[in-house]
Amino acid sequence: MKTLAVLLFALSLNLLPNPTHSTFNPIRLPTADDTPVLDTDGDELRAGGVYIIASGPVEVSLSRIRASTCPNVVSIASFSRGVPVTITPADPNATVISPSTYLSFSFNNVCAKKLYWLVDRYPESETKSPYFVNAGDFLPNNSNQFKIEAEPNSNRNAYKITYCHFGSDECNNVSSRFYAWLRSSRLVLSDKPFVVVFKKANN
């Protein structure tokens, strides 16, 4: 009789919910890493959304170098509105832009085409950084290597942009530097962050 009671008790334990094998999917509380990048209105940045990237009174734009037929330098517009930028995650299933995830930036309908942000290296450069942010055709190993990172020491909804070299753990801040010959600042890779906000392009 005692053996039968033990067996019935063991069977009753197996009928209880097992947290390890339960088919119930509990709600996972959001963490800081789950918080999407926000625009100046406090809305989530949408995958494929179009935004103006601004830092204080200046906005990201496009410039032309010398005899180039199409603008190919990612620069800063000091006295005019910036050029709208499309932000596309490398993950095709993503619907919002999350911090610290790979993505690309592009300008649409420039010279009848889409121009992506790229990083070119000029070893002969006399500047502190030989890496410049330019615009051109999409290159998976170059265009998709940008990230948006939270900048906690800045104002609300402010971020920095980084670029991670393909096949390497090395990442650099995207910053700005003034060039007299260009008569404007352009984006370069640097140790100094370039703190930005994202504004809806249709605002």
| pLDDT, tens only, 47-61 | 999 999 999 899 999
State the pLDDT at residue 126: 53
In the predicted model, what is the mean pLDDT of residues 58-84? 86
- 138 pLDDT exceeds 70? yes
Give the mean pLDDT of the chain: 81
Question: Contact, 166 vs 141, CB < 8 A?
Answer: yes
End-to-end CA gap in the chain = 80
**CATH numbers and ranges of domains, the chain:** 37-200 (2.80.10.50)
Alpha helices by DSSP H, listed for the chain, are 2-15, 140-143
Bigger pLDDT: 75 or 124? 75
State the pLDDT at residue 162: 97
State the pLDDT at residue 142: 93
- Highest mean pLDDT of the ranges 50-54, 76-80, 155-159: 50-54
Query: Which tokens hold the place of 130?
Result: 């030989």
**pTM for this predicted structure:** 0.79
Residues 87 and 171: their CA atoms lie apart, in Å, by 19
Question: Contact, 81 vs 59, CB < 8 A?
Answer: yes
pLDDT band of 9, cuts 50, 70, 90: very low
Query: Which tokens hold the place of 73?
Result: 């330098």
Worst-scoring range by mean pLDDT, 17-31, 81-95, 121-135, 169-183?
17-31
Beta strand 50-55 pairing with 197-200: antiparallel
Torsion of CA 55, 110, 66, 75, to 10 degrees: 10
The three-state secondary structure class of 153 is: coil
Residues 114 and 109: their CA atoms lie apart, in Å, by 6
pLDDT band of 96, cuts 50, 70, 90: very high
In the predicted model, what is the mean pLDDT of residues 83-92? 96
**44 - beta bridge partners?**
38
